[in-house]
Amino acid sequence: MNKAAILHIPASEMAYYENKDELHLQLQSAHNDLADVTVLVGEVSGNNNDSWRYESFFMQKTFATRYHDYWEVILKLNKNEAQYVFKVTDTYGNVGLYDAQRLCEATEENANSPHGFIIENRDMRQVTQIPDWVTKTVWYQIQIDRFANGNDNLAKLSENEDNTTQILGGDLTGILSKLDYLQNLGINGIVLSSIFEGDGPFKLTTNDFYSIDSQFGNKDLFKMLVSNLHRRNMKVVLKMNLAYLSDNSRQWREILEEGQHAKYVDWFNIKGFPPKYSQDPHNKNIVRANYKFSELNPHYPTLNLKNPEVQTYLIQAIKYWVEHFEIDGLILDHADKLSREFVHLLNRNLKKMKPDFYLVGKSELSTTSVVQLGDFDAMTDDALGNLLLNFARDKKIAASEFKYQLSRQMLAQNTKLSRVTLRTLDDLTSSRILTRCRENKALMRSLLTFMYLLKGSPAITYGTELGLSGHDFPSNLAGMDWNQEDQDDKMMRFIKVLNNFRLQNYKILSEGSFEWGQISDSYDYVSFIRRKDKRRLFALFNFGYNGIKFVLPKHAKLILGQNIVDEKSEIGQYGFVILEA
């Protein structure tokens, strides 16, 4: 028995309350080392003189990575305090007991003197609440300036001008005019790029968090948009960046005018006065300044988020949009720059106002620990796309390694939180998924379908349904083409079908178990099963160069498929089938 590999961490993704009466447990062991795991649950007592009374619950092996196996069970609890111990049996028949202090032999003496992991009494159990409506939502991410103009056609991008300075004219009226279009597409949630007064077409920096940029409209118009969305049972989430302000903001301008005596001097990290910057004469990409700035841009002075005044300003500004406009959620960029204490305070304030508010963090870094502590409700999942492309497009990893790595990603979050993860294959700051698929639309459709089958809330970026492409920001932000003659009807139909499939099957896809099926390193195919109660969905994806045979079970129903050669019962390259059996 590989004792060093056995691991359980209480109050983590390995032990959390689904609700006051259910505890989700997970145990890690070395790969293929254990044959059986049970969890023993009993009262918090027992010593060498008394027999410890307990119940045994079988744990199921749910995931495997290259080096570890993971065992899980959901315990039904009563209201009393209790403790639990793991009984582990290896493939040679050796039996051990693993508790909060030791891994020892499974003798009667050791069993009667457990040092178990504690289950609190019912009143003390901390349950992380998630906004359940998110599991029923398919998202559409909109860059406002590039989506639709309510009064005219969008301007055309000029190849002779910088994309980051060209304004095409998209506005809130334009979005209002396209709500029928979005609803017909199967969208019931929209993510809006920054609406706040700021600089450039995208408002990447903010001048004033209390104002809507006049380029997009006004507050009455935004209120009308939110109201119309809610009447259609659609949700709206705003993107915000709290890490820095624009150097055109009122706070920074006052510092430039009044120096170290300015009211807002402690809102930023300034090392000298007056604040100034200079470019290296030999390399314009190197900027030196006597204040802290973000994104390698001296026009983005970094906020001092440790300052209580800054925290209060930001929290009050966000509460303003919730109270007066009833937005449903926020995506905070640069989540790794925000302290856990600040996010916790923010989310607590928001949940008091709106218990089902959806607070999402976006970061280039792994911030799973931030989510686990109940600060953000979810994070955006940017890693899935890279992993899928490494396997399906580039063949950098084999099917078995893809399985191990995806399992590892799934294990990084507890099951409850994974239901509301915002899953994307591209977004407003990344290359388009079609471009990442090297313009191969069959591969793109296959990867989108794979994402839609996972737990979490799927999101596409505006124009995905039209086959919009583009490399890294800002090339990814082309204007939406509303000319029907130029649109990709096949992709449009596919996205509609995919969205409706997700909405009709949200229960099994957000709450059901995930089990790997057959995979092949030789032929690059993978399969898995999503299961809940009596329902079972089977998915098979062929990412190999050759066709693969499949047999449709007698009572199975084909729900969705691509590149199926009926006369051969074969799935071609980038083909897939989704069956209900």
Q: End-to-end CA distance of the chain: give it in Å, rounded.
A: 38
What tokens were used for 294? 């973000």
* Separation CA 292–CA 271 (nearest Å): 8
**For residue 406, what are the contacts with CB-CB under 8 A and spacing of at least 6?**
384, 387
What tokens were used for 335? 């989540």
Q: Which of 525, 555, 563, 552 is nearest to 541 (CA)?
A: 525
Beta-strand runs (E) in 81-188: 82-90, 95-98, 103-105, 117-119, 139-142
CB-based burial of residue 268 (10 Å sphere; 0-12 exposed, 13-18 middle, 19+ buried)?
buried
Q: Where are the alpha helices (DSSP H) in 237-339?
A: 250-258, 308-325
Q: What is the pLDDT of residue 372?
A: 47
Task: Give, for all 581 residues of the chain, the pLDDT tens digit.
Answer: 999 999 999 988 899 998 999 999 999 999 999 999 999 999 997 555 678 999 999 999 999 999 999 999 999 999 999 999 999 999 999 999 999 999 999 999 999 999 999 999 999 888 888 899 999 999 999 999 999 999 888 888 877 788 888 999 999 999 999 999 999 999 999 999 999 999 999 999 999 999 999 999 999 999 999 999 999 999 999 999 999 999 999 999 999 999 999 999 999 999 999 999 998 888 878 899 999 999 999 999 999 999 999 999 999 999 999 999 999 999 999 988 888 889 999 999 999 999 999 999 998 765 454 554 458 899 998 889 999 999 999 999 999 999 999 998 888 777 778 899 999 999 999 999 999 999 999 999 999 999 999 999 999 999 999 999 999 999 999 999 998 877 889 999 999 999 999 999 999 999 999 999 999 999 999 999 999 999 999 999 999 999 999 888 888 899 999 999 876 789 999 999 999 98
* Separation CA 372–CA 415 (nearest Å): 11
CATH of region 510-580: 2.60.40
* Separation CA 55–CA 63 (nearest Å): 25
Q: What is the pLDDT of residue 129?
A: 83
* Separation CA 426–CA 1 (nearest Å): 43
Q: Residues 505, 508, 514, 515: is their CA dihedral positive or negative?
A: negative
Written as one string, the DSSP assignment of 312-344 is HHHHHHHHHHHHHH---EEEEESGGGS-HHHHH
Q: β-strands 95-98, 54-58: how paired?
A: unpaired
* Separation CA 505–CA 557 (nearest Å): 14
Q: What is the pLDDT of residue 373?
A: 44
3-state SS, 365-384, equals CCCHHHHHCCCCCEEEECHH
* Separation CA 386–CA 388 (nearest Å): 6
What tokens were used for 484? 């029907």
Tell me the sheet residues that pair with 289.
277
Q: What is the pLDDT of residue 413?
A: 74
User: What residue spans in the chain does CATH classification 2.60.40.10 cover?
Assistant: 3-124
Q: What is the pLDDT of residue 392?
A: 97
CA distances from 287 to 290, 298, 301, 334 (A): 10, 7, 13, 21
* Separation CA 395–CA 386 (nearest Å): 12
The total of other beta-carbon atoms located within 10 Å of residue 552's CB is 14
User: What residue spans in the chain does CATH classification 3.20.20.80 cover?
Assistant: 132-242+308-507
Q: What is the pLDDT of residue 47?
A: 52
Q: What is the pLDDT of residue 285?
A: 81
Cis geometry, peptide bond prior to residue 301 (ω within 30 degrees of 0): no
Tell me, what DSSP letter sits at residue 361?
A: E
What tokens were used for 485? 């003659």
* Separation CA 83–CA 40 (nearest Å): 8
H or E element at residue 455:
none
326 conformational bin, left if phi > 0, alpha if psi -120 to 50, beta if neither: left
* Separation CA 468–CA 462 (nearest Å): 8
Is the Cβ–Cβ distance between 542 and 523 less than 8 Å? yes
* Separation CA 335–CA 371 (nearest Å): 11
Superfamily of domain 244-304 in CATH is Oligo-1,6-glucosidase; Domain 2 (3.90.400.10)
What tokens were used for 554? 């007698």
Q: Residues 138, 350, 369, 246: is their CA dihedral positive or negative?
A: positive
Superfamily of domain 132-242+308-507 in CATH is Glycosidases (3.20.20.80)
Q: What is the pLDDT of residue 366?
A: 53
CB-based burial of residue 297 (10 Å sphere; 0-12 exposed, 13-18 middle, 19+ buried)?
middle
Return the CATH class of domain 3-124: mainly beta
CA distances from 462 to 35, 148, 192, 429, 469 (A): 49, 10, 10, 12, 11
